[in-house]
Amino acid sequence: MQKNISYGLSNESIKSIASAETTISGLKDANKENTATINHNKVQEQYVPFIVHSAQFPRTKSGNVAKAVTQCMYDDLVNHCGMSKSSAKILKENSIKFCEFFDVPTQATPELIKGILSENDLDTQTKIVAKVSGKKEVTLAEKIAKMVYGKEVTKKVDGVEQTIFVPTDLTMDEINQIEEHMADIKRVRIATDEANRAKLAETTTDNKETNDVLDALTA
């Protein structure tokens, strides 16, 4: 079946999304710098152009775009931008939800989308998904707490909806060991941070003294 060109991404958008995907795929190590680069490429170089593209299409009753448009979108993302099917699905679905949630006009520009993202502090895919789906973003602290202690769930008890706490399989002895170990590691972290601050202060002082001497010699 020949693709309807009017449904396709522009060459500029394909280049932006594909380049970002190459960058993201090449960053294997988990560190602060890589995470920042991944988030920038995912949001600014993929979501922005794809939201602009998605905004021009009318919605079906279910809030989606027409089947032909969907097929063309996936073809572009997977076959021309190098995205996996799962990544393409996340980008496509949440871009359309974004358009619905923020009532994005059909003639939206990249600047408009960037403004919406900035005003709502949406600088990661996780934040975008949480915002447009209406789900609260789960913090790292909450995730760890649920892994160790358990979580609250809502279920019907005797026909009445109630919130109950479901504990993990860990025993209290095991939980106490985890807490003690984390307290030990926290003390090491605090001591390390203090030592690094002291070393930085010492280096700053040495550099200032050196600069003062050089300034005096060249005066």
3-state helix, strand, coil split of the chain in percent (to 5) is 70, 5, 25
One-letter amino acid at 45 equals E
Nearest-angstrom CA–CA distance, 40 and 46: 9
Between 61 and 206, residue with greater pLDDT = 61
Q: What is the pLDDT of residue 2?
A: 42
Mean pLDDT value across residues 198-218: 80
pLDDT (tens digit, 9 = 90+) per residue, 37-82? 999 999 999 999 999 999 999 988 888 999 999 999 999 999 999 9
pTM of the model: 0.62
- Answer whether 82's CB lies under 8 Å from 21's CB: yes
Q: What is the pLDDT of residue 203?
A: 84
One-letter amino acid at 48 equals V
Rg, C-alpha atoms of the chain: 25
Q: What is the pLDDT of residue 4?
A: 46
> How far is residue 12 from each of residues 5, 8, 45, 87, 166, measured CA to CA in Å?
14, 11, 11, 20, 50
Structural domain spans, the chain: 5-133
Nearest-angstrom CA–CA distance, 23 and 37: 8
Q: What is the largest CA-CA distance in the chain?
A: 87
pLDDT (tens digit, 9 = 90+) per residue, 137-179? 678 899 999 999 999 888 776 777 788 899 999 999 999 999 9
Q: Decide if pLDDT at 219 tops 60.
A: yes
pLDDT (tens digit, 9 = 90+) per residue, 92-136? 999 999 999 999 999 999 999 999 999 999 999 999 999 998 766
